[in-house]
Chain A
Amino acid sequence: MKEIERPTRNNLEGIGGWLNPSRYGWERISYWFQRLTGVFLLVYFIGHVYETSTIVNGQNAWESFLELTQTLWGHLFLIMVIGASTFHSANGIRLIFTHAGIGLGTPGRPDYPYNPASLNYRQKSGIWIALILAAAAMFYGFNVLFGV
């Protein structure tokens, strides 16, 4: 790829541009959730690896660390993990299909008011399914952890 001369960075939206996803519809909100849950799950996995590694220090160290997850905040954190992983997986599957060109529609002759073929009902349904699955998984996790 031809190297582009690096001009001034002024007026770049940067990560701040991600913080207001409501301007561009559900697809942008889904993008924001996918990034947010991805970073959250990365933090969780690093913590999880650290947590499981405490077993090398003996059973007491392992159990004392495990008790952290048995608190109110520990349970809420795990419910967040359940919701994030469910949304990230379900929405990720949708994105795998779109990256493969599946479910996007075909190019044609655009007519006013120019509804984009790629932002069709299949994509919106996929996003809603991912959100509903995440909510259902969090609800199930809440029932299991809090015994409601």
Chain B
Amino acid sequence: MNNTAIDNKNEQKITLKVYRENRGQDSGSHHDTFEVPYKKWTTVLDALLFVKSYMDPSVAIRYSCRMASCGSCGMKINGVPKLACYTKISELETSTIECEPLPNFPIIRDLVTDFSRFFNHHKSMQPYIQTNDSTEVDTNKGTFSFYQSPEDVDKYLQFSYCIKCGLCYSACPTVGTDLNFPGPQALAQQYRYFADTRDESKKRLDIVDDRHGIWRCHFAGSCSKVCPKGVDPALGIQLLRSYMLGISKNDKIPAKKIEINDDDNNNNSSKI
């Protein structure tokens, strides 16, 4: 289907090969080809949305923010997991772009995949701060905040930038052969909380100390290669493993709690 209002002979066009499959109907898979006009700044997501708007509205894609913040539009673009909104057509330097669903995620329909297993692994890492006492959440006794130096923050900050887009999970060769392996995202999150001076959990290393756990990582580095946010999951995994092997010493000093009194709050100050 062509739209004459946008059909301009002087415009550059790209061929999009889009994977089509509907697991619900069990009708098999095929690729549909679309000729899409593009500019220097057009992203793969823009092109797919053009297809949906003017050519075939039944193409299924998942997207939201269009600015690499939500992690929804991950897909395999020319064989490599990428965010569609973060990948410019002009930068791919090919005349045909093949869009396929993220590998290692069960397909729901077309380019939309099921993230249940991925999120289950993430949840199994207990991705939240755990402390030995609950005073900081006891509002009757006043609230607390934690003191962390910039150096303390630097130890985990980059791992907290994870947007859970699943690209690392998709690129990992171990995930491709072992469904029980938590994957780079979950393991890097385990390091993120392990390195956080506010966290006092003693069980973090036990969670990943499993024959399907951290020991299955062989440092292929593909997770860090495809990460769109610079999280570098491979770094987190290796650093966590060095603690588990006893090579790095866990010299984490728990963060000091700072009591915030109502008066101090009002004066925008705190007391250590």
The yes or no verdict on A and B being binding partners is: yes
Measured between beta carbons, the chain B residues less than 8 angstroms from A11 are 101-107, 113
Q: Which of B113, B124, B158, B179 contacts A108 (CB 8 A)?
A: B158
Complex contact A100–B232 (CB within 8 A):
no
Most chain B beta-carbon neighbours within 10 Å: one of A4, A5, A104: A4
Most chain B beta-carbon neighbours within 10 Å: one of A3, A12, A99: A99
Q: Chain B: interface secondary structure? A: loop
Measured between beta carbons, the chain B residues less than 8 angstroms from A10 are 23, 106-107
Known: A12-B104, A116-B232. A4 touches B158 (CB 8 A): no
Most chain B beta-carbon neighbours within 10 Å: one of A23, A34, A35: A23
Q: Which of B120, B208, B229, B238 contacts A114 (CB 8 A)?
A: B229
> Chain A interface: which of B139-147, B216-224, B260-268?
B216-224
| Shortest Cβ gap from A94 to chain B (Å) | 9
Our count of residue pairs bridging A and B at CB distance below 8 angstroms stands at 167
**What is the interface residue range for chain B against chain A?**
35 or more
Complex contact B221–A118 (CB within 8 A):
yes
Complex Cα spacing A79 to B243, Å: 39
Binary per-residue interface labels of chain B (93-127) against chain A in the complex, 1 for a CB within 8 Å, 0 otherwise: 00000000111111100000110110011001000
Complex contact A118–B224 (CB within 8 A):
yes
B163 within 8 A of A: no
Complex contact B222–A27 (CB within 8 A):
yes
A interface list, Cβ under 8 A from B: 1-15, 17-18, 20, 23-25, 27-28, 31, 34-35, 95, 98-102, 104-105, 107-112, 114-119, 123
